[in-house]
């Protein structure tokens, strides 16, 4: 092995709730973990607002503050953070070889906590207008839509949360949902339904985003799935709240993924490659909560520690 390639006991991919919890535990075990912060440092909590269900915060805590606290806690015990992300990995050799945007790292254990990214509808007009009216992050972009009418797509908690947040800026928020029953929790749905600025349109799909030629969104063509009729909705913003895609594509063929691309684990966080562990939203399609991500991050760290001990490191 070349001297210039660094060898680490533990590399953690991702700096959301799962990755940072894994960093706290592995750092306290003196493994000097290296955290590659990834494309979305801090993960989904860093773009959310108030987190009301993380135990220990009776009045709630802002997502970015919670993430910042976790990062400081991990750094205090010696975790190292790097603004870098994985390009490819070879998990067939030991130590594992990780190519990143800044070079190559060898790792005795790898904790994959790369999370999940917002899903898009996939319409060409939607893709063309990202950043010109189309967004997947209300807390990032809501400010630009002051006194305008906007639409949020989705029927889950993300869509409700985005819509409620956007009422701070927008004159009106239309929630467009493709069915007439909701995945959203009762409390969030009721809050959205009771809000005077929110109108919920069920059985509604988006067919096209208007404004591609002008490079500025000016409306939506929507379809009522019951009558099959289409109509134009005059909104200048479109926010997607339709779930997330796991960030695990780069491991396809090396570890097992399910049909939707989530990493398949056994014994909670073990992948089929010994020494490679997965935690958080990249392997959890069922709970997807900050607290469950933190819990599985802790498990991955304890398993990495055990693995290193068993292999004489
Ligand atoms: P969900 O999977 O719960 O909901 C996704 C929604 O998007 C569904 O209504 C789904 O419709 C719709 N959808 C999916 N694909 C498409 C598509 N191609 N076109 C149109 N609509 C589509 O994801 P969320 O991100 O809302 O929530 C994920 C998890 O995170 C949940 O456990 C949730 O409770 C949690 N969460 C909690 C929050 C909080 O407590 N503050 C905030 C945000 C999320 P359909 O129902 O028809 O499948």
Distance in angstroms (rounded) separating the CA atoms of residues 237 and 152: 8
Catalytic residue among 141, 157, 281, 284: 141
pLDDT in tens, 76-90: 999 999 999 999 999
Tens of pLDDT, residue by residue over 88-104, are: 999 999 999 999 999 99
In this structure, whether the domain defined by 6-117+244-310 belongs to CATH 3.40.50.300 is answered with no
CB 247 within 8 A of CB 229: no
pLDDT over 80 at 49, yes or no? no
Contact 275, 186 (CB under 8 A): no
- Look up residue 157 and give its two tokens: 């908690």
The answer, yes or no, to whether residue 266 has pLDDT greater than 60, is yes
| Spatial contact of 308 and 109, defined as CB atoms under 8 Å apart | yes
> From residue 263, how far is each of 19, 109, 266 by CA, in Å?
15, 16, 10
Q: Is 201 a catalytic residue?
A: no
Q: Enter the tokens of residue 68.
A: 């910042």
The CATH number for 120-240, chosen from 3.20.20.80, 3.40.50.2300, 1.10.3720.10, 3.50.50.60, is 3.50.50.60
**Banded model confidence at residue 3, pLDDT cuts 50, 70, 90:** low
* CA distance linking residue 219 with residue 237, whole number of Å: 8
Q: Which atom of ligand 1 is nearest to the CA of 177?
A: 21
pLDDT digits (tens, 9 = 90+) for 235-244: 999 999 998 8
DSSP H or E segment with residue 288: none
Specify the residue with its C-alpha closest to ligand 1, atom 38. Answer: 157
Strands in the chain per DSSP E = 6-13, 34-36, 50-51, 61-62, 80-82, 86-90, 96-100, 103-112, 116-118, 134-135, 149-153, 172-176, 198-201, 204-210, 219-224, 230-233, 237-240, 244-246, 276-278
Q: Does 309 have pLDDT greater than 70?
A: yes
Distance CA 69, CA 84 (A): 21
Residue 174: left if φ>0, alpha if ψ -120 to 50, beta else—which one? beta
Q: Give the pLDDT band of residue 285 (cuts 50, 70, 90).
A: confident
**CA nearest ligand 1 atom 18, residue:** 121
- Determine the distance separating the centroid of ligand 1 and the alpha carbon of 153, expressed in angstroms: 10
137 catalytic per annotation: yes
Preceding omega of 95 cis (within 30 degrees of 0): yes
- Around ligand 1, the residues with Cβ closer than 6 Å are 53, 121, 153-159, 161, 178-179, 183, 185, 241-244, 288
CATH 3.50.50.60 positions along the chain are 6-117+244-310, 120-240
Angle, in degrees to the nearest 10, between helices 17-28 and 290-310: 40
Q: Which atom of ligand 1 is nearest to the CA of 51?
A: 41
Of all atoms in ligand 1, which is nearest to the CA of residue 53?
40
């Amino acid at each position: 092995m070349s001297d210039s390639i660094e060898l680490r006991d533990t590399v953690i991919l991702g700096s959301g709730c799962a990755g940072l919890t894994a960093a706290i535990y592995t750092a306290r075990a003196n493994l000097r973990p290296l955290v590659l912060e990834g494309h979305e440092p801090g993960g989904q909590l860093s773009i959310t607002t108030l987190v009301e269900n993380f135990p220990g915060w009776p009045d709630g805590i802002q997502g970015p503050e919670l993430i910042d606290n976790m990062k400081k806690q991990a750094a205090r015990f010696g975790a190292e953070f790097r603004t870098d992300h994985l390009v490819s990995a070879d998990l067939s050799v030991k130590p594992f070889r990780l190519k990143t945007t800044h070079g190559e790292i060898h790792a005795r254990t790898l904790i994959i906590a790369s999370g999940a990214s917002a899903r898009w509808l996939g319409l060409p007009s939607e893709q063309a207008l990202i950043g010109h009216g189309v967004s997947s992050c209300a807390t990032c972009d809501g400010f630009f839509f002051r006194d305008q009418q906007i639409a949020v797509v989705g029927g889950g908690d993300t869509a409700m949360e985005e819509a409620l947040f956007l009422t701070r800026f927008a004159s009106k928020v239309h929630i467009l949902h493709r069915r007439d029953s909701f995945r959203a929790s009762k409390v969030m749905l009721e809050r959205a339904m009771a809000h005077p600025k929110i109108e919920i349109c069920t059985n509604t799909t988006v067919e096209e985003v208007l404004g591609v030629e002008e490079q500025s969104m000016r409306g939506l063509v929507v379809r009522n799935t019951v009558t099959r009729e289409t109509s134009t909705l005059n909104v200048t913003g479109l926010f997607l709240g339709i779930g997330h895609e796991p960030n695990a594509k780069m491991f396809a063929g090396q570890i097992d993924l399910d049909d939707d691309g989530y990493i398949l684990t056994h014994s909670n966080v073990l992948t089929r490659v010994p020494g490679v562990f997965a935690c958080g939203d990249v392997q959890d399609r069922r709970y997807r909560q900050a607290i469950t991500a933190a819990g599985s991050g802790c498990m991955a760290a304890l398993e990495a520690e055990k693995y290193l001990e068993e292999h004489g490191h």
